[in-house]
C-alpha cells in the first residue's frame, strides 16, 4: 500500500475482499497462468487475427481483454494525440505515445509492482512457448515503461468502418489528415484528473507533469516478430487510461517528506481544463 492512502482514489469504496476474482491479478506466474488465457482474436482495426490476452473463461463468461492498473510518479511522458510523430508518412508506423513511472523514493510499494509485471510477462510468454525453462526473466529496471502505438495501417477492405479518434485541434498542421486513407488513429488514450471532491473528469496531456502521482490502466499486448531465425514474441504494456490522482502541490507534507528531493520540491501548478462535467467512475476499479 502507498503511504497515507495516496493510491486509493477518493471515491473508491471497493476493498480487496469484495473485488471479483478477475479484477485481482495473482502474485505468481503459475497462478497468473490460471487467471488468463491467450487466444487468437481478430483485430477490429485490420481484421488480422493476433494472439490476445484474455481473462480465463472461468472468471469471465464473455471474451474480455485483460486490463491491469498500476501507479507511480511520472518520470517522462508524451501523451500528445500524435505522440512523437515527425509528420512524415514513412515514420507513422513507428509513432508512439509513452509514459514512464518511477517510485519517487517509495521503493517498497513500487518494487512490488515491478515484481508483479515480471510474473505477468513470464506467464504470458509461457503461453506462447513450450520450452518455458529457456525463457529469460526481464532484466531488472527501476522504472515502469508503458507505450501506445498511435497510427495503424488501414486495409483496403472495410476502410470506411475504421473510425478516426483524432479530434479538432489534434492535427493542427493537417499532416495526419493527408495520410488518413492509409494510416489512421483508431484509439484515443483516456486522460483524467481527480479533483479534491473525488470527481474524476476528462482532461488533456497538458495537465500531467513530471512528479505527478498517476493511476494508469494498460492492456498487455503480444507483439509477434518474424525473421529468418524464426518467430519471437514480446509483451508490451499498452496504455488505455491515465488519471492524475495528485500533483506535487497536492501531496501532503507527510508524503513529500518521503519522496526523493527532486520530486518533493513544489513546482508551478500545471495547466488544467475547466471541469467538463464528465464524471467517469464506477463501483469497481475500471475507469471508462
Residue 191 lies in a domain: yes
- The dihedral over CA atoms of 65, 69, 74, 79, expressed in degrees to the nearest 10, equals 30
Q: What's the confidence (pLDDT) of residue 193? A: 97
- For 50, list phi and psi in degrees, rounded to 5: -135, 155
Write the burial class of residue 120 (CB in 10 Å: 0-12 exposed, 13-18 middle, 19+ buried): buried
Residue 202 lies in a domain: yes
Residue 166 lies in a domain: yes
CA angle 183, 89, 203 (to 5 degrees): 60
Residue 283 lies in a domain: no
Q: How far apart are CA 67 and CA 217, in angstroms?
A: 6
User: 271: which DSSP letter?
Assistant: P
- Cell numbers linked to 70: 498500476
Q: State pLDDT tens for residues 191-242.
A: 999 999 999 999 999 999 999 999 999 999 999 888 888 888 889 999 999 9
- Nearest to residue 36, comparing CAs of 106, 95, 141, 119? 119
- Number of structural domains in the chain: 1
Write the burial class of residue 132 (CB in 10 Å: 0-12 exposed, 13-18 middle, 19+ buried): middle
Q: What's the confidence (pLDDT) of residue 284? A: 46
Q: What's the confidence (pLDDT) of residue 283? A: 44
Q: What's the confidence (pLDDT) of residue 288? A: 42
pLDDT by 10s per residue, the chain, length 288: 899 999 999 988 877 788 899 999 999 999 999 999 999 998 877 778 899 999 999 999 999 999 999 999 999 999 999 999 999 999 999 999 999 999 999 999 999 999 999 999 999 999 887 555 555 555 567 899 999 999 999 877 666 677 889 998 999 999 999 999 899 999 999 999 999 999 999 999 999 999 999 999 999 999 988 888 888 888 999 999 999 999 988 988 888 888 877 666 655 445 555 554 555 665 444 444
Give CA 182 to chain center in angstroms.
Answer: 26
Q: Is the dihedral of CA 54, 60, 63, 69 positive or negative?
A: negative
- Nearest to residue 87, comparing CAs of 193, 194, 179? 179
Residue whose C-alpha cell is 505468481: 28
Residues in the chain: 288
Residue 278 lies in a domain: no
Write the burial class of residue 72 (CB in 10 Å: 0-12 exposed, 13-18 middle, 19+ buried): buried
In the chain, which ranges are continuous DSSP H helix? Answer: 29-32, 107-128, 175-178, 253-256, 261-264
DSSP-derived pairing of the beta strands 200-202 and 190-194: antiparallel
DSSP-derived pairing of the beta strands 200-202 and 213-227: unpaired
Q: How far apart are CA 114 and CA 146, in angstroms?
A: 12
Residue 270 lies in a domain: no
For residue 94, the enclosing domain spans: 3-264
Residue 155 lies in a domain: yes
Rg, C-alpha atoms of the chain? 20
Residue 30 lies in a domain: yes
pTM: 0.85
Amino acid at each position: 500500500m502507498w503511504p497515507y492512502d495516496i493510491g486509493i482514489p477518493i471515491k473508491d469504496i471497493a476493498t480487496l475482499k469484495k473485488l471479483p476474482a478477475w479484477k485481482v491479478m495473482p502474485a505468481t506466474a503459475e497462478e497468473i497462468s490460471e487467471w488468463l488465457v491467450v487466444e487468437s482474436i481478430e483485430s477490429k482495426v485490420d481484421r488480422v487475427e493476433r494472439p490476445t490476452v484474455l481473462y480465463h473463461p472461468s472468471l469471465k463468461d464473455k471474451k474480455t481483454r485483460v486490463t491491469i492498473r498500476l501507479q507511480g510518479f511520472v518520470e517522462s511522458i508524451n501523451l500528445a494525440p500524435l505522440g512523437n510523430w515527425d509528420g512524415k508518412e514513412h515514420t507513422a508506423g513507428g509513432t508512439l505515445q509513452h509514459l514512464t513511472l518511477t517510485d519517487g523514493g517509495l521503493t517498497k510499494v513500487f518494487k512490488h509492482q515491478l515484481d508483479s509485471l515480471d510474473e505477468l510477462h513470464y506467464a504470458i510468454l509461457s503461453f506462447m512457448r513450450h520450452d518455458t525453462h529457456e525463457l529469460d526473466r526481464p532484466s531488472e529496471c527501476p522504472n515502469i515503461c508503458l507505450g501506445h502505438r498511435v497510427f495503424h495501417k488501414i486495409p483496403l477492405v472495410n476502410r470506411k468502418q475504421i473510425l478516426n479518434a483524432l479530434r479538432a485541434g489534434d492535427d493542427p498542421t493537417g499532416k495526419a489528415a493527408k495520410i488518413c486513407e492509409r494510416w489512421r488513429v483508431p484509439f484515443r488514450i483516456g486522460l483524467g484528473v481527480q479533483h479534491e471532491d473525488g470527481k474524476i473528469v476528462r482532461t488533456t496531456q497538458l495537465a500531467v507533469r513530471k512528479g505527478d502521482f498517476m493511476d494508469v490502466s494498460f492492456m498487455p499486448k503480444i507483439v509477434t516478430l518474424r525473421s529468418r531465425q524464426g518467430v519471437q514474441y514480446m509483451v508490451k504494456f499498452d496504455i488505455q487510461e491515465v488519471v492524475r490522482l495528485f500533483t506535487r502541490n497536492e501531496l501532503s507534507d507527510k508524503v513529500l517528506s518521503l519522496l526523493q528531493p527532486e520530486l518533493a520540491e513544489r513546482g508551478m501548478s500545471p495547466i488544467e481544463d475547466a471541469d467538463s462535467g464528465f464524471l467517469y467512475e464506477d463501483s469497481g476499479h475500471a475507469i471508462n
